Structure 1
Amino acid sequence: MGCCASTERSVTASRASRWRSTGIVAMRDCKLKVFPSEVIDLERSVRTLDLSHNKIVDIPVDINKLSNMQRLILADNLIERLPQNIGKLQSIKNLILDGNHISSLPDELGLLVRLEKLSLSRNLLSSLPETIGSLRNLLLLDVSNNKLKVLPESIGSCFSLEELQASGNSIEELPSSICNLIHLKSLCLNNNNLNQIPQNLLKECKSLQNISLHDNPISMEQFQQLEGFEDFESRRRKKFDKQLDSNVMINSSGLDEGVDL
């Protein structure tokens, strides 16, 4: 028994030493039910933490000790809520929480001002906090397959946003502020309840190359009548032609035609 205990301590110490030296903690598919306390003990050493595909329910309050963490991946767990002090993770750039049971987000999410990628698909979100507009460095927001009926007006303040994925919700209209997203390249809104989109969307969002509106009440005729449609169509075709010229090999389900109604 003493020998086994000694060996286990040695293995644990060796693992902790490796994590500390690399800054990378990867514990995918480890059947974890609780957030490992030994990770919290590493504090500022952790830069990437991947605990995806486990059965973790709670994120500990003292996660704020991981103050240098840049990537937090907790996809496919049983997490129901985020702690309020998650806003203290000031170094974080990628936050991946797909496939959990999260129904709401704390206002403190808006304090993650360095965040570039926020992925929350396959959760139970019925709304997004207005503070999301404080994420001025956000490049990608994925809230697909939730229970959203609206997007907050403040989303128009996410000025760096390039990709917005919100398919598989119950969204009935888009906030007019979405027209402020001048860097937006891809907008995916399949399987919602949209019967119109803001009139100035194509005119103001001059970087937009792809809009996907499959399974919405809106018609192609409505879309084509929007001001700026011709310029959008030109960008879409240019992108498509560039893909063909580069011999991009993708299957038919991944072929981006730009407009899907």
Structure 2
Amino acid sequence: MSNWVEVLNEYSTKDLEQRKVWYSPVVEAYDRARPRYPEALIQRVVEVAQLSPESRILEVGCGSGVATVDFARLGYAIDAVEPNLEFCRLAQQNCAAYPQVNIIPQTFEEWQVESGKYQIVLAANAWHWIASDIKYVKASEALQNNGALVLLWNMSLEPSREVHQVLDEVYQQIAPSIAPQYEGKDTQEEILQGLGKLIGDSGLFEAPVTETITCDRVYEVDRYLELLSSYSPYIALDAPTREALFSGLRSAIDQQFEGKIQLFNLSAYQIARKR
């Protein structure tokens, strides 16, 4: 089993009550620092999924509403299921201008399926939190006969290999257990292919159509550390280690890269028709 599959399984096997509060300490940082999805990617989803003005969307794990807003501003009615109450509050705030958005404070596992109601089931960097023996079954049941599962992914934001090597020295000194492996475009595409295979292997959906957009983003050091703080490995660190790590990363970025770094990642969609 490849490492990324093991990592995904770690998320989906967490206790439901733990999942409900996992991001609570960092919801504001998550909303400020997590990358948005390119507008061109959202437009392609609309086209490929063949959404009509009347289409209704079920979103699984909306978080602070990053993708919810993208689709709400296009006029779509959305039922968004989110287990974290702090995220629900923030999502309601971010979607206040869109009365057609309904934030539901529940886990997808506990949510009562409304059969055949939705044109698409959407998950934006959240699908890996749901157990495989539940998510495909419930998504299929919620969809209309011509409906589709739509997964959005912002893959890991990472610096150039040269910058990564500099920052890795800090990790090895302070928190080697969470030192990120350098991926690059080829590895991120490989991971996406594997994620797509899992969808087809469910037996409930066709093999997905996948499209990627290459993104380059510049993060000032404060925003970069805020971004890291919103990721699970850093949430799980004890506070003294996390503070020491961030202090070391800040010093390296300030001294060697003038307080900012350029980051790369792939943004992607995967659209799989219901069988």
* TM tier relative to shorter chain: under 0.3
Structure with more contact order per residue of length (Cα contacts < 8 Å, sep ≥ 6): 2
The structure that is strand-richer by fraction is: 2
Report the TM-score, using the length of structure 1 for normalisation: 0.25
> Which structure has the larger Rg over C-alpha atoms?
1
Report the TM-score, using the length of structure 2 for normalisation: 0.24
The structure that is helix-richer by fraction is: 2
